[in-house]
Amino acid sequence: MSDAMTTDLYEVTMALSYLREGMTRPATFSLFVRDLPPDRGFLVAAGLEPVLDYLHRYRVTQQDVEVFASVLGRPAGELAPLLGLEFTGEVRAVPEGRVVLAGEPLLEVTAPLPQAQLVESYILNRVSHQTAVASKYARCVLAADGHPVVDFALRRTHGPGAAYDAARLSAIAGLAGTSNVAAAHAEGIPAVGTMAHSYVEAFETEEAAFRAFARSHPGPVTYLVDTYDTRSGVATAARVLRSLGLGPGCAVRLDSGDLGVLAFQARSILDAAGLSEVRIVASGSLDEFAVQRLVRAKAPIDVYAVGTRVGTSADAPYLDSAYKLVEYDGRPVMKLSSAKATAPGRKQVFRRPGCTDVIGLAVERPPAGSVPLLKTVMTDGRRTAERAPLGTARQRLLADLAELPPESRRIEAPTAPRAGLSARLTALAERVRGQIRQRLVSG
C-alpha cells in the first residue's frame, strides 16, 4: 500500500471533482491548533520532518487508483485523472522544536488544489499527534527540574510507528535516552534499559537473578528491586553490588508503590552499605504531574523513566487541529461557522520577546523586534535543506522555553499566551467576511 492511500475518502472525491472541473490553480491550506488542551501553556511544533518525507515521495499510482475505485464502487477509468498526480508545491512551516501557541499556523501548504487537498489527512495526522506528544515530553523535562528523564513508552504507545515517533520526540524534548532500540539506532539516541520482573521471577532467588545479570553485563547494572518486597530487594541489590565490587554507574529501579517513601528508604539502605554513588531510578505510570510532586518532595530520585502516560499523551491525546483553505487562485477565503471561523490569506507568525506573538499576512514586514517563525522548507515538491539534526530542534526548544513567561511553563494551571492579529490581517478578515455575507444576502 502506498502512502497516497493513507487518506480519508472525501479527500479523493473532492480532488477528483477539482480535476474534472479544471480547478487546479494554487491553493493555500493552513494547519493550526484552535485551542490548547487543558493544563497546557504551550505546544512544541513537531512532525514536520516525516511530512516532508511523505510529500517528497508522494505519487498516485495505478494501484492507488484501483483501490480508490474499489472503495467507491466505480470503474477505475473514472478515476484516471488522479493517476500520476505528484506533490509539486511549497511548504512553509515552523521548524520542529519551536514553541507555538493556539491559532498560529504550524505549517502552510501551497500547491495545485487537488494536490493540497489529497495530502490533508496524512499531514494532520503526523503533525497533530507528534506535536501533542512532544509537548508532553517537554513538560516532563520541565517538571524534573534538571534530573535526567528517559523514555520507556514503546510497549504502550498506539503501534510501533507511534513508539518510534515518541522516542524521536523525546530526544527533541531533551530526554536522556530511550528503551526503543530501533529508534535509538536510527536517530542516534542513547539506548537505556534495565530488566523486567519476569527476569527476576525466572530465578530461584532475587540474589541469583542479580548475580546472573551482572555476569552477562559486567559494566554498570541497574537492578529492578520491587518484584517481591522493595526494601528487601534494595538490600539484596546492595549486598550483590558490594560483593562484586560494583558501584559507580549502577542503579536500583523502583517501579511500584509510594515512590517517594520508597526512594528515601532505598537511599538509606544504599548509603548504609557504602553505596552512595549508586543511583535510584523511578518508573511506573509517571507523567509530569507525578514527577513534579516527587521533585517538590525532594525524593532522592536520580532518574525518572516515563512511558505509558507520556508516550500516549494520556491526559490530552489529541489536539483541536485543523487544515483549512485560506486562499485559492489568489483569492483569500475563510470559514464563518460559529466557534470555527478561520482567518483568510497566507500567513506568518511574528515572534516577539516573551512569546508575545503576532499573526499577520505572509507579505507583511516583521514588526520591530520580531522574527518570522514560518520558514520555506519545500519548493516544487523538494526539500530546500537537508534534515536538521535532533540536537538542533532541541536547541530551538531550549531557547523558546527560556522566552516563555514562567506562568506558561507551569505544570499545573498554566496561563497560555495568546497571539494577536496584525492590523492588516484583521482588515482582510473583515473585508472577506463582508463579501461573503453580501453574497449570502444577494442569493
Is the separation of the CB atoms in 187 and 390 below 8 Å?
Answer: yes
Structure pTM? 0.95
CATH of domain 139-311: 3.20.20.70
> DSSP for 329-378?
TTEE-----TT-----S-EEEEE-GGG--EEEETTSPPPTT-EE--EEEE
- Is the pLDDT confidence value at 88 over 80? yes
CA distances from 397 to 46, 174, 183, 314, 391 (A): 11, 9, 21, 22, 10
pLDDT level of residue 151 (50, 70, 90 thresholds) = very high
Contacts of 426 (CB under 8 A, 6+ apart): none
Find the mean pLDDT for residues 171-198: 97
Residue 439: exposed, middle, or buried by beta-carbon count in 10 A (0-12, 13-18, 19+)?
A: exposed
User: What is the number of other CB atoms lying within 10 angstroms of the CB of residue 380?
Assistant: 10
Residue 383: helix, strand or coil by DSSP?
A: strand
Contacts of 41 (CB under 8 A, 6+ apart): 404, 407, 408, 409, 410, 414, 415, 416, 417
Task: Give the integer Cα–Cα distance in Å for 111 and 91.
Answer: 9
Instruction: Report residue 146 CA to chain centroid gap.
Output: 21
Per-domain boundaries in the chain: 3-133+318-442, 139-311
Thinking of the domain 3-133+318-442, which architecture would CATH place it in? Answer: Alpha-Beta Barrel (3.20)
Q: In which band, very low, low, confident or very high, does the pLDDT at 341 lie, cut at 50, 70 and 90? A: confident
Residue 338 clears pLDDT 80, i.e. is over it? no
The one-letter amino acid at 56: H
CA dihedral 77, 78, 84, 88 (to 10 degrees): 170
Q: How many residues appear in the chain? A: 443
Alpha carbon distance, N-terminus to C-terminus of the chain: 45
Residue 127: which pLDDT band, with cuts at 50, 70 and 90? very high
Q: Position of cell 495530502? A: 119
Reading the block at residue 376, the C-alpha cell is 520555506
* Mean pLDDT over each residue of the chain, to the nearest integer: 96
Q: pLDDT tens across 198-254, in order?
A: 999 999 999 999 999 999 998 899 999 999 999 999 999 999 999 999 989 999 999
Torsion of CA 44, 50, 56, 58, to 10 degrees: -120
CA neighbor of 233 nearest in space, from 192, 279, 193, 265: 265
CA 255 – CA 195 distance, rounded (Å): 11
Please state the rounded mean pLDDT for residues 66-89.
96
Contact 133, 50 (CB under 8 A): no
pLDDT score for 2:
84
Q: Cα(64)–Cα(53) distance, rounded to whole angstroms?
A: 19
